Structure 1
Amino acid sequence: MNTVASTSGLPDARERGWLTPLELALLGAIWGASFLFMRVAARDFGAMPLVEVRLALGSLVLLPFLWRARAQFPAKLWPKLAIIGAINSAVPFMLFAWAAQRAPAGIGAIANAMTVLFTALVGFLFFHEKIGARRAIALVAGFVGVVVLASDKTAGGDQVGWAVAAGAAAAFLYGIGINLVRRHLTGLPPAAVASATLGTSALLTLPFAIANWPTHAIPMKSWFSATMLGVVCTGLAFVMYYRLIARIGASRASTVTYLIPVFGVAWAWLLLDEPLTVKMGIAGAMILGSVALSQRVGK
Structure 2
Amino acid sequence: MTKDIQAEGALKAWGFLIILALIWGSSFILIKRGLEVFSPGELGAFRIVAAGMVLLPLSLPRLKGLNSRQVKNLITVGLMGSFIPAFLFAKAQTQLSSSLTGVFNAMTPLFVVIIGALFFHSKITKRNGIGLGIAFVGVVLLLMVKEGKAFGDFSDINSYAFFVILACICYGFNLNIIKYRFVELKPVAITAISLLMVLPMALIYLFAFTQFSFKLLHVEGAYQAAGYVALLGVMGTALALILFNIMVKVATPVFASSVTYLIPIVAIMWGLLDGEVLLAGHYIGIVAVIVGVWVGNRK
TM-score by length of 2: 0.89
- RMSD after superposition: 2.2
Q: Which amino acid aligns with 1:178?
A: L
CA distance in 2 between partners of 1:278 and 1:131 (Å): 32
For structure 2, the residue ranges without an aligned partner over 5 or more in a row are 149-154
Aligned equivalent of 1:224: 227
For the pair 1:208 / 2:205, whether they are aligned, the reply is yes
Aligned equivalent of 2:242: 239
Cα distance, 1:249 vs. partner? 2.4
CA distance in 2 between partners of 1:115 and 1:29 (Å): 18
CA distance in 1 between partners of 2:66 and 2:11 (Å): 37
Aligned equivalent of 1:30: 23
Aligned equivalent of 1:136: 129
Aligned equivalent of 2:101: 108
| C-alpha distance after superposition, 1:183-242 (max 9, x if no partner) | 112331211211121222232333433313344426233112111101111111111101
* Cα 1:40–1:159 shift into 2, 3 Å: farther
Aligned equivalent of 2:151: none
Which residue, 191, 195, 205 being the options, matches 1:194? 191
Aligned equivalent of 1:277: 279
* Cα 1:41–1:160 shift into 2, 3 Å: farther
2:106–2:260 CA contact under 8 A, matched in 1: yes
Which residue, 117, 120, 130 being the options, matches 1:127? 120
The runs of at least 4 aligned residues of structure 1 exceeding 6 Å deviation read none
Aligned equivalent of 1:267: 270
CA distance in 2 between partners of 1:154 and 1:240 (Å): 39
For structure 1, the residue ranges without an aligned partner over 5 or more in a row are 1-7
Instruction: Map residues 31-180 of structure 1 onto 2, 5 A cutoff.
Output: 31-74=24-67, 77-154=70-147, 161-180=158-177
Q: Secondary structure at the match of 1:161?
A: coil
2:187–2:245 CA contact under 8 A, matched in 1: yes
CA distance in 1 between partners of 2:265 and 2:61 (Å): 36
| C-alpha distance after superposition, 1:231-273 (max 9, x if no partner) | 1111111111010011112221111000111101111211x21
CA distance in 1 between partners of 2:140 and 2:79 (Å): 27
Q: Secondary structure at the match of 1:71?
A: coil
Which residue, 176, 182, 185 being the options, matches 1:185? 182
1:50–1:97 CA contact under 8 A, matched in 2: yes
Q: Which amino acid aligns with 2:244?
A: Y
* Cα 1:242–1:138 shift into 2, 3 Å: same
* Cα 1:248–1:203 shift into 2, 3 Å: same
Q: Secondary structure at the match of 2:168?
A: helix
Percent of aligned pairs sharing the same letter: 26
| C-alpha distance after superposition, 1:62-81 (max 9, x if no partner) | 33332443335345532321
Aligned equivalent of 1:292: 294
2:46–2:230 CA contact under 8 A, matched in 1: yes
Cα distance, 1:175 vs. partner? 0.5
CA distance in 1 between partners of 2:101 and 2:271 (Å): 11
CA distance in 2 between partners of 1:163 and 1:260 (Å): 20
CA distance in 1 between partners of 2:200 and 2:157 (Å): 31
Cα distance, 1:118 vs. partner? 0.5
Instruction: Map residues 16-27 of structure 1 onto 2, 5 A cutoff.
Output: 16-27=9-20
CA distance in 1 between partners of 2:278 and 2:94 (Å): 18
2:83–2:198 CA contact under 8 A, matched in 1: yes
